[in-house]
């Protein structure tokens, strides 16, 4: 990156990657500045893999679903030949949505003026377009995205060259599957989706996710279940893992291990015996984000399983509200002008350091 090209808010020294013991956190301005948010939307989220949701939602030809991803509005579908496809959900006429919600369809009809697209994204008809000069319908197909199915989930990205760190997503998931074997996320059933709107920058939520340091203070109930002393963090190219034994199993938490995966920049997989939650952190503005939870379980049918699921979700909701409360207070602390940057615990904040270094790298490449 040429220094002359740095945006005014981005100081070269803040991009330096130092060992954890010497490192400072990223500066407060990166959490509170609307220009940084705009920069991240363009340079980070528009280029990264985004989790759309459960793959079982697109079983049959014609099945589609629309999602707001951090990279923009997306439609994912299974075309007539059974192939998965994804497009920006943006009509080439005047940017209307070509679909909403989910369902099964034969064509995509824009909800604004009714232009019709085939399931391969090509424009079929532009009603009443009349004698527009130099209008080639072939030039007005929907803008495609890459889409893959991985471990029972759908992921999209703009551009075949998108990676997670320097790895293709299938390589990241191969490593994760190997690590958590015999647990197999692809065998789980999708149960439901919840979402939480939070008054903090998306990075505050991610930083908070990436350390167990706050467990004793913020989550006394969860801290009784997990093994704080043995809580470990491992970092990899493009992703990280925190794990702990479940020291005190409960009705909702069976004996075994808890694995908390973070996939840069905004995907989390929370894996416990018999269940997985995925979290996607959607940046909504410099001081707002939405966290979307999808719940998957080995058994979503039996009555005993349903009781356990209800306990799991209600306990998860308690933990989430504790995290929301602390994150919203941190955002206020970052925004009030007295805090510039802090230092990190060598013992407990390895994952935060790793995330912030990936961010520094992404900013460097994007600037
Ligand atoms: S914006 Fe889609 S038909 Fe007009
Ligand atoms: Fe937490």
Query: Which residues of the chain are modeled with pLDDT < 70?
Result: 1-4, 367
Q: For the chain, what is the total number of helices (H) and then of strands (E)?
A: 8, 17
Ligand sitting nearest the alpha carbon of 324: 2
* Dist. CA 40 → ligand 1 center (Å): 28
- Residue 35 confidence (pLDDT): 97
- CB 93 near ligand 1, within 6 Å: yes
Q: Could you please report the per-residue DSSP string of 175-206?
A: HHHHHHTT--GGGPEEEEEEEEEESS-HHHHH
Buried b / exposed e across 293-315, counting CB within 10 Å, b at 16+? bbbbbeebeeeebeebbeebbeb
* Dist. CA 325 → ligand 2 center (Å): 10
Distance between CA atoms of 193 and 101, rounded to whole angstroms? 14
- Residue 367 confidence (pLDDT): 66
- Structural domains of the chain sorted by starting position, each given as residue range(s) with its CATH number in brackets: 50-150 (2.102.10.10), 183-366 (3.90.380.10)
Structure confidence by residue, pLDDT tens digits, 29-85? 999 999 999 999 999 999 999 999 999 999 999 999 999 999 999 999 999 999 999
- CB 111 near ligand 1, within 6 Å: no
* Dist. CA 322 → ligand 2 center (Å): 7
- CB 62 near ligand 1, within 6 Å: no
CA distances (Å), 320 to each of 158, 205, 275, in order?
A: 31, 11, 17
* Dist. CA 92 → ligand 1 center (Å): 7
Give me 38's structure tokens. 């705009």
- Residues 271, 284, 66, 314, CA torsion sign: positive
| Ligand 1 atom closest to Cα of residue 110 | 2
Query: How far does the chain reach from its first CA to its final CA, in angstroms?
Result: 7
- Residue 4 confidence (pLDDT): 54
> Nearest Cα to 119, choosing from 110, 127, 128, 107?
107
Question: For residues 151, 164, 292 and 144, what is the CA-based torsion angle, rounded to 10 degrees?
Answer: -90
- Residue 227 confidence (pLDDT): 87
- pTM listed for this prediction: 0.96
Contact call for residues 269 and 261 (beta carbons, < 8 A): yes
- CB 256 near ligand 1, within 6 Å: no
Give me 112's structure tokens. 């604004």
């Amino acid at each position: 990156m040429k220094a002359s090209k740095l945006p005014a808010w981005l100081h070269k020294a803040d991009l330096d990657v130092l060992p954890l013991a010497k490192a400072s956190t990223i500066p407060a301005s990166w959490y509170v500045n609307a220009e940084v948010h705009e920069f991240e939307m363009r340079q980070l989220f528009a280029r990264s893999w985004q989790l759309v949701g459960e793959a079982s939602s697109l079983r049959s030809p014609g099945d589609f679903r629309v999602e707001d991803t951090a990279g923009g509005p997306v439609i994912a579908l299974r075309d007539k030949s059974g192939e998965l496809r994804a497009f920006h959900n943006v009509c080439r006429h005047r940017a209307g949505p070509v679909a909403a919600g989910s369902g099964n369809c034969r064509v995509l009809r824009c909800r604004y003026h009714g232009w019709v697209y085939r399931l391969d994204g090509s424009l079929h008809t532009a009603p009443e377009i009349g004698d527009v000069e130099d209008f080639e319908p072939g030039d007005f197909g929907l803008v495609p995205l890459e889409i893959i199915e991985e471990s029972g989930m759908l992921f999209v990205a703009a551009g075949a060259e998108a990676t997670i760190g320097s790895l293709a997503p299938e390589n990241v998931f191969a490593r994760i599957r190997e690590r958590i074997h015999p647990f197999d996320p692809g065998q789980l059933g999708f149960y439901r989706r919840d979402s939480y709107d939070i008054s903090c920058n998306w990075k505050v939520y991610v930083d908070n996710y990436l350390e167990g340091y706050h467990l004793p203070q913020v989550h006394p109930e969860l801290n009784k279940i997990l093994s704080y002393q043995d809580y470990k963090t491992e970092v990899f190219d493009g992703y990280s893992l925190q794990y702990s034994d479940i020291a005190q199993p409960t009705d909702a938490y069976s004996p075994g291990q808890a694995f908390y995966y973070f996939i840069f920049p905004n995907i989390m997989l929370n894996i416990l015996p018999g269940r997985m939650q995925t979290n996607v952190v959607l940046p909504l503005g410099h001081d707002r984000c939405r966290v979307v939870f999808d719940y998957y379980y080995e058994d979503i049918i039996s009555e005993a399983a349903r009781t356990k699921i209800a306990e799991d979700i209600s306990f998860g909701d308690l933990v989430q509200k504790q995290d929301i409360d602390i994150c919203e207070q941190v955002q206020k602390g970052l925004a009030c002008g007295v805090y510039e940057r802090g230092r990190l615990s060598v013992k407990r904040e390895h994952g935060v350091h790793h995330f912030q270094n990936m961010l520094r790298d992404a900013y460097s490449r994007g600037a």
